[in-house]
Amino acid sequence: MKVVVNVEFHTDFEGVYWIKSDGEKKIATLNLSPGRSFYGEDLFVFENMEYRSWNPFRSKLSAAILKGLKNFPLKRSSKVLYLGAATGTTASHVSDIIEKMGRVFCVEFAPRVFRELIDRVCRYRSNMIPILENARIPERYRMLLEEVDTIYCDVAQSEQAKILADNADMFLKNSGWVFLAIKARSIDSTEEPSKIYEMEIGVLKNRGFDVKQVLDLEPYDKDHVMVLAQYLR
């Protein structure tokens, strides 16, 4: 546990903070599970409140914020569908931001990873709902979800934009928002990443998304971009 010199609200993004400690400035979220660190992140205390540092080398959403994300469609009480939740690193920070009245529906396909997601994170957070399913087949978990405000997609598969769009058709409210972390090497390791980004973004546009921003995540992630888009049925 570290003591923080100062904490400031992020001027544009609800639930995101700047912390200053030991001469460094980092982004953080207010810990919904005080005393628990989930992936080795530092915990900081300021005025009896505990904050978790949000490592951009471990979280593409954190990296996107530091790379100049202009819109942040996550807030208190948001309903979020998270595709490719893995062990819950980024999902846990989303959980902090939306607080107890929100919901993060965490879809993960790999059983071993899913067990870690439950044992390490979800069991300590009532607003995280783990779902062991394949994001390519949203019909299988339709009965477990309600309409969501935002979809966050970070899947290491081909057809990443199609997977997101298929889930949006089923679960995303009109004018809802999506984050798509495009992993170029997971789609085609031989093609130029720029061509893959163009192809995947084209899929989103053809499926009714208004692409607002595309952020290269270097130096935090190589051959990755984060796409922010709004769904217009």
Cα 157 from Cα 154, distance rounded (Å): 9
Tell me: do 136 and 202 sit in the same domain.
yes
Tell me: do 44 and 150 sit in the same domain.
no
pLDDT of residue 185: 76
Nearest in space to 1 (alpha carbons), one of 15, 29, 21, 23 = 21
Tell me: do 34 and 68 sit in the same domain.
no
pLDDT of residue 190: 73
Q: How is 59-116 classified by DSSP, letter by letter? A: -HHHHHHHTT-------TT-EEEEES-TTSHHHHHHHHHHTTTSEEEEEE--HHHHHH
Tell me: do 93 and 181 sit in the same domain.
yes
Q: Which range (61-70, 105-114, 217-226) has the least confidence?
A: 217-226
Q: How is 146-169 classified by DSSP, letter by letter? A: --EEEEEE--SSS-HHHHHHHHHH
Tell me: do 144 and 123 sit in the same domain.
yes
Residue 95's CATH number: 3.40.50.150
H or E segment and range at residue 176: strand 172-183
Range of the domain at 110: 61-231
Tell me: do 48 and 68 sit in the same domain.
no
Tell me: do 86 and 119 sit in the same domain.
yes
**Cβ partners under 8 Å of residue 81, min gap 6:** 105, 107, 145, 148, 150, 151, 152, 167, 171, 172
Q: Is the pLDDT of residue 197 over 80?
A: yes
Q: What is the pLDDT of residues 26-48, one digit of tens each?
A: 999 999 999 999 999 999 998 88
Tell me: do 123 and 44 sit in the same domain.
no
pLDDT of residue 105: 98
176 — pLDDT class (breaks 50, 70, 90): very high
Number of domains forming the structure of the chain: 2
pLDDT, mean of residues 193-216 = 93
Q: What is the pLDDT of residues 60-106, one digit of tens each?
A: 999 999 999 999 999 999 999 999 999 999 999 999 999 999 999 99
**Cβ partners under 8 Å of residue 217, min gap 6:** 60, 63, 64, 67, 181, 224, 225, 226
Tell me: do 14 and 108 sit in the same domain.
no
Burial class of residue 35 (count of CB atoms within 10 Å of its CB; 0-12, 13-18, 19+):
exposed
Tell me: do 163 and 140 sit in the same domain.
yes
pLDDT of residue 2: 64
pTM above 0.85, yes or no: yes
pLDDT of residue 1: 59
Q: Is the pLDDT of residue 24 over 70?
A: yes
Residue 225 in contact with residue 60, Cβ under 8 Å?
no
Tell me: do 16 and 90 sit in the same domain.
no
193 — pLDDT class (breaks 50, 70, 90): confident
Higher pLDDT, 6 or 205: 205
